[in-house]
Amino acid sequence: MKTPVSSILLVLFASFIGSFGAIFLKAGADRLERSIKGVLTNWRLPVGVCIYLTSFAMYTVAVKNGELTILYPMVSLGYLWTLIWSRLIFKEPLTRNKFIGVGMILFGVVVLNLGNR
């Protein structure tokens, strides 16, 4: 089975979109208040969840026409995007260990999926 370029692009886009889901959840979490009104008016949390669901739907469509061993690991690229947004939006320090850690995770996911062939 050959994986069409359109599926690869769709998964890349899904991982890109999904990383913004994490951003909204974090922004919502930082503004969380211990009251029912505070939780209900925290619009960032449902927006984050909706972004996740959209990303998941796109991924589901993409894997129908492609190889899971290629497409599944690409979802993990979302970790890399999130590292970048964390720096730009939340001013979190970008340390060497974070890059090494995410690099090892990505490598591990690729290798793991080779085993599922």
Partner 1 sequence: MSNSSIQAAGAPATSKRNRTKANVMVVACTVLGAAAQMLIKRGTAIMPPLLDPSGGSILEQAPMIAWKILTNLPLFGGLACYGISTILLVLALRYGELSVLYPIIALTYVWVSVLSVGLLGESVNIYKAAGLVFIVLGVTVLGRKDRDA
**Residue ranges that bind partner 1, judged by CB under 8 A:** 22-23, 25-33, 45, 49, 76, 79, 82-83, 85-87, 90-98, 100-116
Closer residue to partner 1 in complex, CB, 9/39: 39
CB of 104 to partner 1, least distance (A): 3
Whole-angstrom distance, CA of residue 81 vs CA of residue 49: 17
Closer residue to partner 1 in complex, CB, 9/105: 105
CB of 5 to partner 1, least distance (A): 26
Structure tokens at 109: 């996911």
Closer residue to partner 1 in complex, CB, 5/91: 91
CA 19 from chain centre, in angstroms, equals 4
Closer residue to partner 1 in complex, CB, 6/87: 87
Which three-class secondary structure string do you get for 3-63? Answer: CCHHHHHHHHHHHHHHHHHHHHHHHHHHCCCCCHHHHHCCCHHHHHHHHHHHHHHHHHHHH
